[in-house]
Amino acid sequence: MKKYVLKRDRNALPERLTRYRAELNDEQFAVVTAQPKASLVVAGAGTGKTRAITYRVAYLIEHGVSPQRILLATFTNRAAKEMLRRVESLTGSQNVHRVWGGTFHRISNQMLRRHAVSIGFDPNYSILDSEDACDLINACIDEAAIDTKAKRFPKADVIQGIISYASNTDLPIENVIVGKYPYFEPLTRQIERIDLMYRSRKQERNVMDYDDLLLNVKRLLVEKKEIAEFYADQFQHILVDEYQDTNRLQAEIIDLLAVKHRNVMVVGDDAQSIFAWRGAEFTNIYEFPKRYPEAQLFKLETNYRSTPEILGLANTSIANNRKQFPKMLTAVRRSRDFKPAMVPCSDVEQQSAFVASRILELRDEGVGLEDMAVMYRSHYHSIELQLELTRRNIPYRIQSGVRFFEQAHIKDVISYLRIIVNPRDELAWKRILKMVPGVGNATANRVYEAIVATRATSGEMKPEDQVAGSDHPAPLLRKDESLQVLASEVVGRIRTTQSWKAFVVLIELLSSQENRDNPSKQIELILTHGYEQYLQENYENADARIEDLKGLGAYATRYKTTDEFLSELALLSTERFKEPQPLVGEEVISGGDEDELLTLTSVHQAKGLEWKAVFLIWAAEGKFPSPRSLREIDSEEEERRLWYVAITRAKDELYLTYPLLMTDYNRQTVLQKPSRFITECPPDLYEIWNLEEEAAVFDAPVEIEDKSPEYLN
C-alpha cells in the first residue's frame, strides 16, 4: 500500500511565535511549544494551566495538525467549550469545532454512536440517568424475588453506587463491598446477582447508564482491533485536563487511544488529588512516568492568585507528603504584610462570633461578601456558624448543596424530636412512619388520624403536660395515649413485624421521663435504634451522614430542653430573606436576596474557586484531618492535599480557626489541639491572634448570674 502525504499550505503557518511569547510566561511557553511526545504537566494552584492547555491546542492547529486529530478531555463540557472558543479566537480557524472536546462520557458517547453495533447495541441506544438506573435495578430486585422485608436489602441507589464504584475502579463487586460496605458482606452474592441481571436487562433494552459509556468504549477498544487501530491512528494528539482526578477506567481509555502516537499531554496537580472517595486514582498522575518512560516533565509554579505569605504556608505544608512531584509555588503578587492568622477560640460560639465579626469588618473595609468564603472539612462543622450568620443578618449561600438542616437525614432525625414535643405534628409523624419497612401512605395516614382522635377524646392537656414555671401547657407525647395507638389494631398486620416493634420501642425511649428533654440523648437513641442501619441501606454516603448526626448530637448538648433546641433550629428555616425555593441537591442555595452573598462551602466543593479572604474553621486535630479518613491507608496524605487545596483558595487573607474546648457526642468536655497540618509548619509562617471579649456596657448596675461551666471556675 502506497502512502500519499497531504502537503500543508506553508503560507498559512505562523512564521514567528512573538504573540505566544508576549502572552505566556516561560513555564507556560515551554508547555505550549513542547515537542510531540508524552508530556506530564504538573500545574500548581493558580498557575494558569487552562491558559497553557488552550494555547497548546491553538499551537497544534496553527502548525498544521487537523482539528479532528486532536482529543481534549476535560471534566466538564462547559470547560471544553470555553477552551475551544478561546482557541478559535486565537487561531481564527473555522474548524475548531471538529476537535474532539468534552468530558470522557461525551467523547465515549460520540464513539459508541458510531460503533455500538459491534458490541451488541443499536446506535440509537438510550442513556439512563440516575433515577432511571435505580428504577431498572428495582425491577431486577423484584425479578430476583429477594425478600427485602425478611432481611433488609440495600436500596437501589446504594446498589447503583456499589456497581458504579466497581466499574470505575476496575474492582470486583466483592472487593468493593469488603472495602467500603462491610455491613453488606452477607448479601454479597445477591448483590452480584443483581449486577448480572442489571447488565443483561440494559443490553436487552438497548440502554446504557453513565458508567457504561466508559465501560463499553474500553470494551470496544479491547475487543475490536480494527476500531482500536482506527482511533489510535486518528488521535495524533491527546490532551487531558485535571488528570489527577481521573479514575482507573478513564486512564486506561486514554492509554488505549494513545498507543500508536503516544503524544499524550496530561495536565494536573498531584497535590490537589482529593477525590479518592469517589474513585479517583492518585497513582494515575503519580505513576504516569512509569507508563510513559519517555515522558517529558513540565512544572507550572508561578502563582498569580495568592500572596507570598499564603504560598509560604502552602508550600511548607504540602512538602510533608512523601508521594508527590516536588514543586515550589512562587508568587507574582507583592506581599501585603499579612501573615495567615491562626485564631484559637475559647469555644465554638466564640469561633462563630469571631468569623461573623471579622466578615463584617472586612465588608466595611471594602471587601464584598462575594469575595469571602468560609470553608470546612465536613458539612456539620457549619451548624453554629449558620445560626450566627442568621442572627447577624449576614446573607449566605451553601456552595453546591442544601443547608445543613435541610438535608434529608437531618430532617428525618428532627422529625422524631418534633413529634415528642408536638404529637399533633402531621408532617413529622408521616415522615418517620414511612421510614418503617412496609408502611406506606395509607398506613401512615391511618395511624396519624388515630393518634389525633385518641388525644382529642382523652382531653389534650393533663397536669404532667405543664411546663415547669409556665402557664402555657406543652402537649408532650404521653405513653398512655399516642403510644397505645402504635400497638393497636389500627396499625394492621405490620404491628407484628420486628421493624415495627423496634419503632415502638424507640418512641417509648424518646418520650420517657428520662430522655424526653435531652435532645442529645434522643439523637443518640435514634441512631443506635435503627436509623444508622437505615442510612447504610438507603444512602451511598452513609458514613458521612452518620458523622453529621453525631455532630448534631454534640451540638444539642448545650440545650436544656428539646423544645428549646428545635426552636433554635427553626431560625434557619423561618428567617429567610426571600421566598423558599424547591431544593435540588446540586444547586447553590441562597441565604439572602441581596446582590452579594457570603459563600459557605466544604473544601471539596471549593476546588477550582478563589476568594480574597478565606476562613477555614474547625482546624483542629480530629476534625481536620477527619478521624474517619485516617482509618484508610494513605489517607493522611490525601487529607493534607485537601488542606493544601483549602489554603490555596485564598488570595489576600487566610484565617485558620478552632475552638479550644468542645462538648463531644458523649457530652464530655474535650480540650482540642490545633490540626497537625498547622503544628507541622514553623510558627513564623503564621500569626496567632488572641481573642478578647469586648467589655459589656450597662446603663445601670445589674446583678449577673454566674453561668460559667464548672470546669472554668
DSSP class per residue in 252-268? HHHHHHTTTT--EEEEE
Query: Rounded to a whole number, what is the distance in angstroms from the first to the last CA of the chain?
Result: 93
Model pLDDT, residue 696: 58
Q: What is the pLDDT of residues 78-90, one digit of tens each?
A: 888 899 999 988 8
In what helix (H) or strand (E) does residue 445 lie, and over which residues does it extend?
A: helix 441-458
Instruction: Read off the C-alpha cell for 134.
Output: 435505580
pLDDT < 50 positions in the chain? 12-13, 15-16, 460-474, 480, 574-594, 702, 704-713
In what helix (H) or strand (E) does residue 225 lie, and over which residues does it extend?
A: helix 225-234
The owner of cell 465536613 is: 378
Beta-carbon count within 10 A of 537 CB: 17
627 burial level (CB within 10 Å; 0-12, 13-18, 19+): exposed
Instruction: Read off the C-alpha cell for 387.
Output: 445560626
DSSP-derived 3-state class of residue 111 = helix
**Cα separation, 78 vs 31, whole angstroms:** 23
Contact in structure between 20 and 33 (CB atoms under 8 Å) = yes
Question: Phi and psi dihedrals of 92, rounded to 5?
Answer: 75, 5
- Going 414 to 417 to 419 to 422, the CA torsion angle's sign is negative
Q: What is the pLDDT of residues 341-380, one digit of tens each?
A: 999 999 999 999 999 999 999 999 999 999 999 999 988 8
Model pLDDT, residue 437: 81
**Cα separation, 244 vs 269, whole angstroms:** 6
**Cα separation, 55 vs 34, whole angstroms:** 11
Model pLDDT, residue 9: 56
- For helices 248-257 and 104-115, give the axis angle rounded to 10 degrees: 60
C-beta contacts of 493-500 below 8 A and 24+ residues apart: 494/436, 494/438, 494/439, 494/443, 497/149, 497/437, 497/438, 499/152, 499/436, 499/437, 499/438, 499/530, 500/436, 500/438, 500/439
Instruction: Read off the C-alpha cell for 713.
Output: 471556675
Model pLDDT, residue 537: 81
Selection from 128, 124, 122 nearest residue 140 by Cα: 128
Selection from 674, 652, 76 nearest residue 373 by Cα: 652
Q: In 366-421, which ranges are continuous DSSP H helix?
A: 383-391, 408-421
**Cα separation, 48 vs 519, whole angstroms:** 50
Beta-carbon count within 10 A of 206 CB: 14
Contact in structure between 153 and 186 (CB atoms under 8 Å) = no
Model pLDDT, residue 583: 32
Q: HEC states along 336-354? A: CCCCCEEEEECCHHHHHHH
The owner of cell 441562597 is: 590
**Cα separation, 206 vs 213, whole angstroms:** 13
Selection from 673, 654, 547 nearest residue 309 by Cα: 654
pTM for this one?
0.78
> What are the residue numbers of the active site?
49-50, 241-242, 272, 649
Model pLDDT, residue 656: 97
User: Which residues have CB under 8 Å from 279's CB, separation 6+?
Assistant: 164, 165, 168, 169, 247, 248
**Cα separation, 430 vs 600, whole angstroms:** 32
Residue 78's identity, in one-letter code, is R
Model pLDDT, residue 556: 86
Question: Phi and psi dihedrals of 375, rounded to 5?
Answer: -115, 155
DSSP-derived 3-state class of residue 237 = strand
DSSP code of residue 480:
T
Instruction: Read off the C-alpha cell for 307.
Output: 500572596
Residue 155's identity, in one-letter code, is K
**Cα separation, 709 vs 668, whole angstroms:** 12
Selection from 257, 284, 167, 166 nearest residue 216 by Cα: 167
